[in-house]
Structure 1
Amino acid sequence: MHPVLSDFRRLLWYVVTWLLTGILFARFLVTAGMSDWSYSLLLTLPVIFVFSFFATSAYYICRAFPVNQRPFYIAIVIFGSSALISGAILLGLCQGWNQVLALFTGSTYALQMTEYLNVLLLILGFTLYLLSLLAYDVLIAFNTMREAERRATNSKLAARDAELQVLRSQIDPHFLFNSLNSISALTVVDPSAAREMTIALADFFRKTLTLAEQEKVTLRVELELCEHFLAVEKIRFGNKLQTDIQLAANAADALVPGMLLQPLFENAIKHGIRHLRSGGTIAMQILQHHGWLHIRTENPCASNTTPTTGNGLGLLNIRERLATLYGDQARIHWEKKEQQFILEIALPLELKQDEI
């Protein structure tokens, strides 16, 4: 489809540009003393208008002979001959329209088609068509570059989505494996608790299935999911596991990647609470400040454990997901201070838009 004729805005600018060309041509005729303004405009504007649509054929020539596949001699022959034919067409249009006008206005006002003027019209048509060829070459090159950028962007997005899907798919099996181990341990010492934990685990996975298609969820929804997870773990650890979650009111509708917080609680339990005879409290504080969302967790841990005990999948998975989604805009840092493990995350603030 023609890029000018198929786009109303481009077509409007195209016609205006050619009509301005017709006005400049009329001014030349007036300045050269060949005609007055009224007759010059009456002659040039209709001719240029008709010629402008003939010049759209330059697009198809440029498409048929792309710049990167166009031998120099082909360009000279094809472009030169088409421009010469266009010059002859512009000359014929001017002569024919001038005769038509002469019938209605009288020969007194008609333009005298001298040999000089005929050559000038031929050169003008030749030049205008060459400029059209050049303009379409530039337009095609621009469209090709923009299409290549679009394809590259789509490829990056597809690769990012695939990477996120792989990372996301690692979370559920990892959590399920740990939960089944917990249920297995409870079946020996407390079968009723094991049954209760199995039901709580089913509720958790039912909730995750409803959110599986969402790349990002609000913190309110994410924390509701974490409550299901903590319900499972509290059955196992009882009063040893305490939580203190502080969510700022203005951060409740902030968007975060799904299953972002659950691995934080899981890590705190696996590498902290589980190793302490008296257990402890997992403290989480979430707030927004100056366009950033800050998440901080803190939990007690034994002095002889490290954050990388086991395979460390949870925190490493979070780091990779954040890098994929936010690039270098997101930050995650964790450290152990004496018998306290501290983790901090900073994300660009995104708020859920209210539906209208």
Structure 2
Amino acid sequence: MQPAREPVEFLPDFCTAPRVLRVLMVCEAVAVVLALGGSLSHELAPRFLLLSIYLQWIGICSAAALCLIRRYAGHLSARGLVLLAYLTLLAVTFAITEITYVAGRYSGFGLLLQDASHLGFLGRSLGICAVVAALALRYFWLRSDWQQRAEAEMRARLEALQARIEPHFLFNSLNSVAALIAIRPADAEYALEDLAALLRARLSSEVPAVTTLADEMTLVNAYVRIEQLRMGERLRMDIDIAAAAMACRLPSLALQPLVENAIGHGVARLPRGGVVSLSARVDGGMLVLRVANPLAADTPAVPGNRQALVNIERRLALRYGEAATLRITRDKEQFIVDMHLPQDEHRLS
């Protein structure tokens, strides 16, 4: 039986403002529960105000402590970090509770101490902290483990997509190159370079998970040039890419397979061929891509086409969640795939 896997860097970065804000929101929610759990008298409002100040103080200090732990105790194992973080949160709560109890004799915080002894006030505060901290750390642990599994699945899907070389495409490409060697050796050499680039992207284990649209278009153009050797004037491309979009980032092999499907399951099945349209633009922090190809009126849906689209759709869901969309539109004459990808840096790292 294999040992349980430890999530790496499970603790979020509490040095950032959004994380601190979430901590304060949790503390405020606890303050509401505690205030409503007391007597519903005229002292409810001041009691809620004092609880908010008290818990926000604990929240800010706890976030600062977790920030320092993540920054300077990263060498510890995940279980070591859990224990250190848990004990630190209890220590912070203990210190602030003691300060509040002492200061309560000389300030308005005495309202919180009216119905509690020293040990009672301390025990209740530490008890609440113990439960909330345990739930929070357990959530961080499970979320980190899920992210690792999701990343592993996404990598596996990328590797499966890389390994999906259509045999007929490879044979047709080699036959086209062989036919060109005698009559157009220069074109044959360029075709072999394009084929090598595609095979390198599909089979290499060192392909990055994320690339730029400019790099992805290098593969798209290589694939199109190879297919044009076989299809000639039957295959025409209409490419409209905004200059700003070329620097945008997207998962590797997210666009080239869409163009491959558009050619293989669209244009190649039409006796007269057709035009594959590819457009890209930036709109509101999103990279908007569209690939469209013509269809014959009696062309049935192709199972292989749908499989590749599902593969890409799942990869996008694993990386971006609901922030990315892949929409498919099919009518009697056209098959259109629209892909919207966020360009937030934290999603692309």
**TM over 0.5, shorter chain:** yes
Change in 2 beyond 3 A, CA 1:24/1:160: closer
Distance (Å, rounded) in 1 between the aligned partners of 2:305 and 2:238? 27
Distance (Å, rounded) in 1 between the aligned partners of 2:298 and 2:208? 39
Amino acid at match of 1:266: E
Does the aligned pair in 1 maintain the 2:173–2:227 contact within 8 Å? Answer: no
Equivalent position of 2:227 in the other structure: 233
Distance (Å, rounded) in 2 between the aligned partners of 1:4 and 1:322? 35
Equivalent position of 1:201 in the other structure: 195
Equivalent position of 2:132 in the other structure: 142
SS of 1:302's equivalent?
coil
Equivalent of 1:22 in 80, 102, 105? 102
Equivalent position of 2:258 in the other structure: 264
Q: Report the more deviating stretch, 18-27 or 127-136.
A: 18-27
Equivalent of 2:293 in 294, 299, 315? 299
Does the aligned pair in 1 maintain the 2:293–2:335 contact within 8 Å? Answer: yes
Does the aligned pair in 1 maintain the 2:267–2:274 contact within 8 Å? Answer: yes
SS of 1:229's equivalent?
helix
Equivalent position of 1:32 in the other structure: none
Residue by residue, what CA displacement relative to the aligned partner does 1:127-170 show, whole Å, maximum 9, x if unpaired? 32343333222222222212211121112212211221232122
Change in 2 beyond 3 A, CA 1:223/1:351: farther
Change in 2 beyond 3 A, CA 1:270/1:208: closer
Does the aligned pair in 1 maintain the 2:294–2:334 contact within 8 Å? Answer: yes
RMSD value, Cα: 3.8
Equivalent position of 2:165 in the other structure: 175
TM-score (norm 1): 0.59
Equivalent position of 1:288 in the other structure: 282
SS of 1:235's equivalent?
helix
Change in 2 beyond 3 A, CA 1:24/1:337: closer
Q: CA deviation at 1:179?
A: 2.9
SS of 1:299's equivalent?
strand
Does the aligned pair in 2 maintain the 1:271–1:306 contact within 8 Å? Answer: no
Indicate the structure (1 or 2) with the bigger Cα radius of gyration: 1
Change in 2 beyond 3 A, CA 1:207/1:331: closer
Amino acid at match of 1:252: M
Equivalent of 1:348 in 329, 334, 342? 342
Amino acid at match of 2:251: P
Does the aligned pair in 2 maintain the 1:254–1:350 contact within 8 Å? Answer: no
Change in 2 beyond 3 A, CA 1:252/1:21: same
TM-score (norm 2): 0.60
Change in 2 beyond 3 A, CA 1:129/1:170: same
Residue by residue, what CA displacement relative to the aligned partner does 1:279-299 show, whole Å, maximum 9, x if unpaired? 222111111223433211222
Q: Percent identity among equivalent residues? A: 24
Q: Unpaired segments of 5 or more residues in structure 2?
A: 1-82, 108-115
Residue by residue, what CA displacement relative to the aligned partner does 1:316-355 show, whole Å, maximum 9, x if unpaired? 21222223333333332333333332222233344699xx
Does the aligned pair in 2 maintain the 1:271–1:305 contact within 8 Å? Answer: no
Amino acid at match of 2:98: W
Distance (Å, rounded) in 2 between the aligned partners of 1:2 and 1:279? 66
Change in 2 beyond 3 A, CA 1:143/1:163: same
Change in 2 beyond 3 A, CA 1:338/1:15: closer
Aligned residues: 255
Q: Unpaired segments of 5 or more residues in structure 1?
A: 28-125
Equivalent position of 2:49 in the other structure: none
